[in-house]
Structure 1
Amino acid sequence: MGSSRVRVAVDAMGGDHAPAEIVGGAIKAQQELDVEILLVGDPQQIEACLAQHPTAPKMEIVPAEGVIEMTEDPVPALRKKPKASINVAMKLVKQGKADAVVSAGHSGAAMAAALLRLGRLPGIDRPAIGAVFPTMVQGQPVLVLDVGANVDCRPKYLEQFALMGTVYAQYVLGSEQPRVGLLNIGEEPNKGNELAIQTHELLQANERIPFTGNCEGRDVLSGDFDVVVCDGFAGNILLKFAEAVGGILLQILKEELPRGKRGKLGVTVLKHNLRRIRSRVDHAEHGGALLLGVAGVCIIGHGSSDAETMCSAVRSAQEAVENQVLDRIKESLPALSPS
């Protein structure tokens, strides 16, 4: 690729605050991380944003036309707009001109574009969106997947999620012996619906998956698990609930701090601590969610991503590439149960 640095194609037009915040995050990433950014989108709009940062490093702009709107049905829209920014970004990875894609746009469109342009890894029936959450144990996050790619699942899909999650936890999150849990309504193996019961049997039988048993909702953020697998329906509810709780906690902290001069003094004294609290409770601080199971590294950012969050998303992409997550997942696939 002409460069030893990880090259990340950033969908500059995707997200609630695109392109200004996306470009700002790309600049921050190229300044702070050892990466090379390719900004994909409308050249005029991107150049106007770059002009607001006169000291920004030079970045390549890859022209694209249009964006997939949140109200559009992903697959028809992708076919109707072949030059849309997310399509062009995925094509760069397919052609080997970029190592990863980061987009804060339509998550369904990002997943569909990845499937259409990059394809699935052999042996993977459905890709999964994995989100990293903070836990009660500092420095020990938990990966939850799927958080929205697959509303309806079969047991073998969840087995595949567990295997991919194990690899990601080992090589990116730094868990030497990841503990994999199955989201359920009780600890006992016979608890839950038919999907949970059958999945429990598959995970328990697979020696490659370090399965430790069922994980109840209250245990997800306990630090007792490194990977939690579930279908996309339950996972997305969990994701949105966690986002709300994090926001509420921060709001309560602001409201409950003393008012007046004492309050101002308290905020000044606690500013660093409040920032650290935010980074621990807000899972958006981890950047975005990795789409596992496609033949390329793809990070789906939050629609409301600001520059800071986009920089974190680029970092997640960089870590996945440098730790050879795709190759390691491919090596693990023979351990899956026959379809």
Structure 2
Amino acid sequence: MKKIAVDAMGGDNAPQAIVEGVNQALAAFKDIEIQLYGDEAKIKDYLTATERVSIIHTDEKINSDDEPAKAIRRKKKASMVLGAQAVKEGSADAVISAGNTGALLAAGLFVVGRIKGVDRPGLMSTMPTADGKGFDMLDLGANAENTAAHLHQYAILGSFYAKNVRGLANPRVGLLNNGTEDTKGDPLRKETYALLAADSSLNFVGNVEARELMNNVADVIVADGFTGNAVLKTMEGTALTIMGTLKSSIKKGGLKAKLGALLLKDSLYSLRDSMDYSSAGGAVLFGLKAPVVKCHGSSDAKAVFHTIKQVRTMLETNVVGQLVEEFTPKDSE
């Protein structure tokens, strides 16, 4: 049985969206147990599942405007911290939260702990592509600044995840840059390119431009945390704007527009689904001793369900256990 700790109080739509997503996951997967951390009375308002779920009550929670490191130290009974503590103590196998990203990163690093040999865990998410296959991208903001050695390690981590969780035999790794030529980029990108090109364990396909990300140009995209986070939010904002503008145009377009939308309904749904990142799950802080996964702050029940599904797959494939073995120096065995 896979035991997953869930911060029921984190995110814009908590606890309703979190608990409704948990209800769906418990109905779909018979091999998981959920531990819900948060206000018991509020959680019970939405919890319909009665088996394989428990509530660990706490009145304390970390707010979106709390300073991450201070919040982890001072709010020892916060729902997010208790979930991370359960993982550390072994009573849970993974933790999920839609709350304060910085605080979850801090809880992951200081409570759960990083794998020995991983310099800086990276925040990684599976992003959508036009053909529906998606790509893994890191770092998405766990670290504002990175060295070439960090980016090289992100390529290894991302490739490992793509192989073991997404089932890709030989994932293509691309370096996000301002041009495809190997001479492009600032000193960080040039040094990283040399490291990736020299690593025969990676299927490095070279530099990748941001405009090609959704065209299945690579299976793993490597970026520094500042750039990766900016690209992530640009993609999210663009997708939301396109869908919102299209919907608004149809509503304002009169009868012809509505009839046209009716005829194109299947195609429009397909477009919506291809740009929907919620079905890919959450962002994994990869490189820690256990799965620590961040749901989007505005996650609905569907996104929470898919994040639990993602964590279930991570536990089923034992990707973290395999990663520990991969990074353990052979001479220490």
| TM-score bracket for the superposition, by shorter chain length | over 0.9
Q: What is residue 178 of structure 1 aligned with on the other side?
A: 171
The equivalent residue for 2:189 is 196
Quote how far apart the aligned CAs of 1:279 are.
Answer: 2.2
Shift of 1:71: 1.0
Name the aligned partner's letter for residue 38 of structure 2.
Answer: G
Conserved 8 A contact 1:299-1:316: no
Question: Offset at 1:262?
Answer: 5.7
1:91–1:117 contact (8 Å) kept in structure 2: yes
Structure 1 segment 1-339 matched on structure 2, within 5 A: 5-34=1-30, 35-50=32-47, 53=48, 56-58=49-51, 59-138=53-132, 140-257=133-250, 259=253, 270-333=264-327
2:34–2:54 contact (8 Å) kept in structure 1 = yes
Checking the alignment, whether the CA contact within 8 Å between 1:142 and 1:223 is kept in structure 2 is yes
- The structure-2 alpha-carbon separation of the partners of 1:275 and 1:232, relative to structure 1 and needing over 3 Å to count, comes to same
TM-score by length of 2: 0.92
Q: State the shift of 1:335 in Å.
A: 8.9
| CA distance in 1: counterparts of 2:107 and 2:316, whole angstroms | 23
Q: After TM superposition, give the deviation of residue 294 of structure 1 in Å.
A: 0.9
Paired residue type of 1:147? L
Q: Report the number of matched residues.
A: 327
2:168 alignment partner, SS class: coil
Paired with 2:265 and 2:3, the residues of 1 have a C-alpha distance of: 35
Q: Are the counterparts in 1 of residues 130 and 274 from structure 2 also a CA contact under 8 Å? A: no
Instruction: Note closer, same or farther for the CA distance 1:192–1:276 as it changes in structure 2 (3 Å cut).
Output: same
Distance in 1, matches of 2:38 and 2:265, equals 37
Structure 1 residue 178, shift from structure 2 partner: 0.3
Q: CA deviation at 1:70?
A: 1.2
Identity of aligned residues (%): 38
- Per the TM alignment, residue 63 of structure 1 is displaced from its structure 2 partner at its CA by 2.0
**RMSD, aligned CA:** 2.0
**Separation in 2, partners of 1:31, 1:263:** 40
* One-letter amino acid of the structure 1 residue matched with residue 170 of structure 2: Q
- Measured after TM superposition, the shift of residue 246 of structure 1 is 0.8
Note if contact 2:289-2:324 (Cα within 8 Å) is conserved in structure 1: no
Q: Distance in 1 between matches of 2:167 and 2:269?
A: 24
Residue identity opposite 1:8 in structure 2: I
CA contact (8 A) 2:116 2:328 kept: no
Tell me the TM-score normalized by structure 1: 0.91
